Structure 1
Amino acid sequence: MKTAIIAALLVVLGFGFAHAAPTGDAAIQARVDAAIDRALTEKRIVGTVVLVAKDGKVVYQRAAGLADREAKKPMREDALFRLASLTKAMTSVAALKLVEQGKLRLEDPVTKWIPTFRPKLPDGTEPVITVRQLLTHTAGLSYDLMEPADGPYHKARVSSGIDQPGLSMEENLRRLASVPLVYEPGKKWGYSMATDVLGEVVARAGGAPLPTVIEKLVTRPLGMTDTGFRVKDAARLTTPYADGKPEPVRIGESRFVPSGASGVTFVPGRVFDTRSFASGGSGMVGTAGDYLKFLEALRTGGTSVLKADTVAQLVTDQVGPQAASAGPGWGFGLGVGVLVDPVTAKSPQSAGTFHWMGAYGHNWFVDPKQGLTVIVLTNTTFEGMWGAFPVAVRDAVYDAGH
């Protein structure tokens, strides 16, 4: 009895045991444990926090590996991670909340809110870009990693929001608008800087800096006390690593990591530079527990943040499977990837599953039909983002019968 009481107190006080899956979920615990242990043994990741919820109940929770390998600092369940593109869904929800409030319209031209943002097509014509196109990544924009090293985004020094500390939003938007659009807005899907532009629209429509608007509309209503554009507790912030042999390499002050047509430059210290623009596409820091609150709000209809019909639009494919947003069979909603065809995607997930990733090494999905929410945060890029590890966790969850 005393042991049980002490254990309960430790959980309440935030000192939960590393394996917190309730009894009765032994299958999922064993399978997910094996996936995590294998990735750590093979030195594909340095550390991770994994959360699995079924119908709103946490059935698996584990912090494993190291938050800082060189300091031999164990990973904690309340570890803070640079969220990278996990920020996008929160910026998108803030935009949709402003739509509900009548302060923003999906069909508003971006120039209504940012008059100077007028990128042109290669032939010199200036098309209209709408808020809806920013949300759906059909605005004609791109990312530097989609281009070779001598591509126009690199030449213009457009920041992805995880490099160039101290750069202002005004200057980054000027650089972005100076580059020709990749395609006519509305004609294609292309993952891009669109959510960074959306973040500035949200700030102007919301009448306050983006961090303030997101806190007011998203994180505070959901009790996400650890999540924001600044580090709440530096002692809990994980050290980032990049894929390497025989083990991941510490990113350090700055590191270029090859990916796509070129790669991504990571500057982890950016988050501590208060002059850095608040990147709506990749600028936030938070915990797995906080992000679970956010995803559960979407899974259950979002009533504490958005109306149910708004959430339904958010998580419904708006583009079509030709988007291949997370590979074949995946479309895209108003800020998240949506599974259209599980057979084509070769996925055990149900049609309607929504999902996204983060470049610092994160992956999450929500399968509404199965009542599943799965969050995989790591401090290892790109393995934790789109490597074998998040796929192994996904398959372990479904193999366990959930």
Structure 2
Amino acid sequence: MTNRRTFLNTLAGLAATTGHGLTASPMNDAFEIIQQQIKDGTLESAVLHVRRKQDTFQQAFGKAANADAIFLLASITKTMTATAVMVLAERGELRITDPAMKFVPEFNEGARKAVTIEHLLAHTSGLPDQLEDNAALRARHAPLAEFVQGAILTPLLFAPGTKYHYQSMGILLAAEIVERITKTPLPDFLAREVFTPLEMTHSALGLGRFKIADIVRCQTEHAAPESGAGDPKAASWDWNSPYWRNLAAPWGGAHGSAGDVARFLDSFLHFSGKVLRPETVRLMLQNHSESLGARRGIGFALGPEGFGKGCSDRSFGHSGSTGTLAWADPATDTTCVILTSLPSRISADTILHPVSDVVARSR
């Protein structure tokens, strides 16, 4: 696009830029927040990608080779899995009001009969975030099928639809439904139906065609508890391990570049029709948990809380425990993607939210 301004690489370049919504000073402030963490030795790698209307800023930091560096996206993956489900909904192969047991018949004991696909995608199914034996499963390199069986059998925490409780296992069962309907592994389905149409050439669920050496290293010494919490004994199954990189967990195993994640978000801001129809996008971005005091769409978190201070109520996106945050705001036609190697236990307060605040307030 000839009228797009792209601002890259240097503070000098930043100081010289002006544009339709990305002025030099706010982007310089965002740059400095991240760069200071690099200088302090706290952060190893990051990429920031911001687009507002026709202006784009992108910057690689630290050990990230360039703006196309590929990161483990963690729970941003959930938005992609939800999109795969909605592709099938558009085709009439499922409805989100369908009970999950229609496609997973063995998920039928007690209150499980009442769990719908919508419940799975909006975190209201009653399933837990992680299985009780999560660490043991990962430690022995269990295949994804064992996680599925565990999710089918694990006790529900509450009656479906009565509470909001963030849970990865609901997303896992939604992914299982996609695979059973299409008879296609979810990584292949996403590649064909989402990543390729959106020209997300640096993305894959699992490693895909990439090698571990192609992916930015996670600073696992600060990892989340369910991912080893930095314990050296977890090295064979933590975020950097071949086991986890290849598992293709539909709740947190996607890899991608900041630019690719921005393309994905942009497809929900601007209805290209390459993946989903406008009415499907609107359905996904509606609040499906409003009566439960939460703001959750289909796969997406809904703002403004959790994104930048200054984001509108129409903003949407997701964060990831590996140190990632991606959001979009239709009110300002802005997408912001921050990918870091520093787990969100630390980077949320020091990088992700401060940078998002700068971006959201810039005009």
TM-score (norm 2): 0.84
* Greater fraction of residues in helix: 2
Decide whether the 8 Å contact of 1:165 with 1:270 is kept in 2: no
CA RMSD between the two structures: 2.9
Q: Tell me the CA shift for residue 40 of structure 1.
A: 2.5
Are 1:109 and 2:99 an aligned pair? yes
SS at match of 1:279: coil
Change (3 A) 1:271 1:323: farther
Which of 213, 217, 224 aligns to 2:189? It is: 213
Question: Which residue of 2 is the match for residue 373 of structure 1?
Answer: 335
- For residues 183-226 of structure 1, the C-alpha deviation after alignment (integer angstroms, 9 at most, x for no partner) is 10111111102111111111122231111111121111111122
Are 1:47 and 2:48 an aligned pair? no
- For residues 159-182 of structure 1, the C-alpha deviation after alignment (integer angstroms, 9 at most, x for no partner) is 6xxx45742233212222332100
Question: Which residue of 1 is the match for residue 288 of structure 2?
Answer: 318
Are 1:181 and 2:156 an aligned pair? yes
Q: Tell me the CA shift for residue 320 of structure 1.
A: 1.6
Which of 196, 216, 220 aligns to 2:172? It is: 196
Change (3 A) 1:316 1:78: same
- The aligned amino acid for 2:178 is V
- For residues 313-370 of structure 1, the C-alpha deviation after alignment (integer angstroms, 9 at most, x for no partner) is 111211128544xxxxxx0001101126x6x999311111102111111011111101
Aligned length: 341
- The aligned amino acid for 2:143 is S
Question: Which residue of 1 is the match for residue 228 of structure 2?
Answer: 255
Q: Tell me the CA shift for residue 229 of structure 1.
A: 2.4
Identity, % of aligned pairs? 25
- The aligned amino acid for 2:117 is V
Change (3 A) 1:269 1:157: closer
SS at match of 2:132: helix
Are 1:307 and 2:277 an aligned pair? yes
Change (3 A) 1:17 1:384: same
Q: Distance in 2 between matches of 1:295 and 1:370?
A: 14
Q: Tell me the CA shift for residue 45 of structure 1.
A: 2.2
Q: Tell me the CA shift for residue 99 of structure 1.
A: 0.4
TM-score (norm 1): 0.76
Question: Which residue of 1 is the match for residue 234 of structure 2?
Answer: none
SS at match of 1:373: strand
Question: Which residue of 2 is the match for residue 134 of structure 1?
Answer: 120
Question: Which residue of 2 is the match for residue 26 of structure 1?
Answer: 24
Which of 67, 73, 78 aligns to 1:77? It is: 67
Which of 184, 196, 202 aligns to 1:226? It is: 202
Decide whether the 8 Å contact of 2:100 with 2:113 is kept in 1: no
Structure 1, unaligned runs of 5 or more: 1-10, 68-74, 145-152, 259-264, 325-330
Change (3 A) 1:311 1:302: farther
Q: Distance in 1 between matches of 2:292 and 2:153?
A: 28
Question: Which residue of 1 is the match for residue 262 of structure 2?
Answer: 292
Are 1:61 and 2:51 an aligned pair? no
